[in-house]
Amino acid sequence: MCELFGMSSDRPISARSPLSLFQMRGGETADNPDGWGVAYLEGDAFTIHKAPEAAARSALFAKLAHQIHSRLIIAHVRKANPPTALTLENTHPFMRTCCGRSWVFAHNGQVPELIAPQGCCHPRLSHPEGDTDSEHAFIYLLEEIAGTFPVETTSPEMTEAWLETLTLRSSAIAEYGQFNFLLSDSEHLIAYGHDRLYSQQQMEGGVQSVVIASMPLSGDESWEAFAPDELRVYRGSQLLGRWSASKNSKRCSLA
């Protein structure tokens, strides 16, 4: 099954070690041979490299893992299940513009209901370039939050509204299958763990960072599992808040 990698730090740093470990999840240490992608911030804009091939055998992925210095990274290795074409259009991460910002999204799991003719959660205003349930979900979520996303500076309550909407819509999609994702608006790293996602705080060269992965990339015990259906928002290495659609969960506000 596909796997996710995310990193958010206080300033641009190398991701050589964790990205190199994650690269091997793409066809060597895990069965995800059907594509890879890496999106990272250069300045305030995302650069994306991706290919419909096994990451573990990609010279470009290895080169990027050694060269990237960034404060925000989202990467993905793909297992095409259910089978869809091994094309660039079906390879994660996906990027779209919404609410005056560029967004990047990568997904782990299966929600085939989203691409069924009579299924749920179909985008209304835009069309996917590929045929994955992941891209359908991404566009649908952007359309759902567009009405509450603060284009300009607003009150904290207004800022939280779009995150509450995102949490509720993500939880609704997860009811149709498996839905874990990483999302960024070029400022925050947003992670939703439906049923498998882990975080680890790291310190290297005096720079604090947080790493998110579908499965722990190392054997130490410092990896923290997300609660089921938990959405977290990070800026730099700081956890700004946690959201959950569960009636029994407490929602934390943005700091």
User: Which phi and psi (to 5°) does residue 166 adopt?
Assistant: -60, -45
Which fold would CATH assign to domain 3-244? Glutamine Phosphoribosylpyrophosphate, subunit 1, domain 1 (3.60.20)
Report residue 23's pLDDT band, with 50, 70 and 90 as the boundaries: very high
Map out the domains of the chain as residue ranges. Answer: 3-244
d(CA 37, CA 163) in angstroms, rounded, equals 26
**Mean pLDDT, all residues of the chain:** 91
pLDDT of residue 254: 43
d(CA 189, CA 59) in angstroms, rounded, equals 27
d(CA 175, CA 188) in angstroms, rounded, equals 25
Q: pTM of the predicted model, to two decimals?
A: 0.93
Q: What burial letters (b/e) apply to 136-169, b meaning 16+ CB within 10 Å?
A: bbbbbbbbbbeebbeeeeeeeeeebbbbebbbeb
Per residue in 35-46, pLDDT (tens digit) is 999 999 998 899
